[in-house]
Amino acid sequence: MTSLNGQVALVTGGARGIGRGIALALAHAGANVAIADLEHIASTAQQYTSATIGGFTEAQKTVAEITALGRRAIAIQADVRQKADNERMVQETIDGLGGLHILVCNAGVVSVSPVETMNEEMWDVTFAVNVKGVFLSCQAAIPKLKAQGKGCIINIASIAGKNGSAGLAHYCASKFAVVGFSNSLAKELAATNVRVNAICPGILRTQMWEYLADTLKRSSESKEDAWQRYIKGMIPLGRPQTPDDIGQLAVYLAAAENVTGQAINVDGGIEMH
Ligand SMILES: NC(=O)c1ccc[n+]([C@@H]2O[C@H](COP(=O)([O-])OP(=O)(O)OC[C@H]3O[C@@H](n4cnc5c(N)ncnc54)[C@H](O)[C@@H]3O)[C@@H](O)[C@H]2O)c1
């Protein structure tokens, strides 16, 4: 079994959903984990709202779960859109847990709109969290990772970073950007032994898909029927993915010393490239 004993991970958006699954999997493999999330996101009509409230409270619950495994864990309140928050989050991880070896940029938001009627705010919020947030988190961690001559960055992209979707042009563009950014950063940092990879999850019923199933359901359809339609219609293996599926790949990537610059799908076969 892969051992990450003695390593410290920082997971953004790690309070719940995929980030929580990654944090728990890394902790099971031996890592101590800092979880960064935010309590309140500026509420707009265009992004999912109540569900993004309470991230720091949820982060503290995930910290308790990790502590119960015998690992050390801390919760940090941070908004990945803010440069100063990213710098503080990295410093609090180093101060609180004694280092930083694995950075997981997972925080993300989604919303749905055709391009023709999409307002600029929807575009800007999506790119601020999903793209600028990844850039700023990486930028804050790079000096520490480079200085120790070893480190691993895992950016959570999506199958939406491999193929477009109607109504999700802004989200898909943001996830294509995460893949391109990760690929470029992998080349930039390879000589310093800092590896950068992306994970492209498929469909997981986190709060993100609770929102999507509600938003994308047809007028004659229940939310549950819409969910089943997407699962059966899109996923060759016919079943949704789980946060632990994504966590297992994160554990692998954290330890895979010869893997960098990859964008790996965990999607039951939706995308095969
Ligand atoms: N659920 C899916 O099917 C799916 C599929 C592919 C990719 N993804 C990606 O996986 C990642 C996690 O998604 P999830 O499904 O677990 O969603 P989620 O909504 O359950 O979790 C996202 C977390 O990010 C936090 N967050 C949002 N904005 C933030 C900010 N500005 N600063 C700090 N934290 C912030 C939220 O509070 C929340 O805890 C996202 O990047 C998402 O785009 C999800």
161 Cβ below 6 A of ligand 1: no
Secondary-structure class of domain 8-202+243-263 per CATH: alpha beta
pLDDT digits (tens, 9 = 90+) for 69-123: 999 999 999 999 999 999 999 999 999 999 999 999 999 999 999 999 998 988 9
> Would you say the CB of residue 29 lies under 6 angstroms from ligand 1?
no
Q: Is the CB of 38 under 6 A from ligand 1?
A: yes
Burial class of 215 by CB neighbour count within 10 A (0 to 12, 13 to 18, 19+) = middle
The answer to whether residues 223 and 213 touch, using CB atoms and an 8 Å cutoff, is yes
Question: pLDDT tens-digit profile of 33-43?
Answer: 999 999 876 54
Checking if the pLDDT of 46 tops 50, the result is no
SS3 content of the chain, % helix, strand, coil (to 5): 50, 15, 35
Delimit the domains of the chain by residue range: 8-202+243-263, 204-240
Distance 192 CA to ligand 1 centre (A): 29
CA distance 77 to 60: 10
Which of 109, 212, 270 to probe ligand 1 with, by most ligand atoms within 8 A of CB? 109
With a threshold of 0.85, does the pTM exceed it?
Answer: yes
Ligand 1 lined by 75 (C-beta under 6 Å): no
Task: Show Cβ contacts of residue 13 under 8 Å, excluding neighbours closer than 6 positions.
Answer: 19, 36, 37, 55, 80, 106, 107, 108
- CA 33 to CA 209: how far, in whole Å? 26
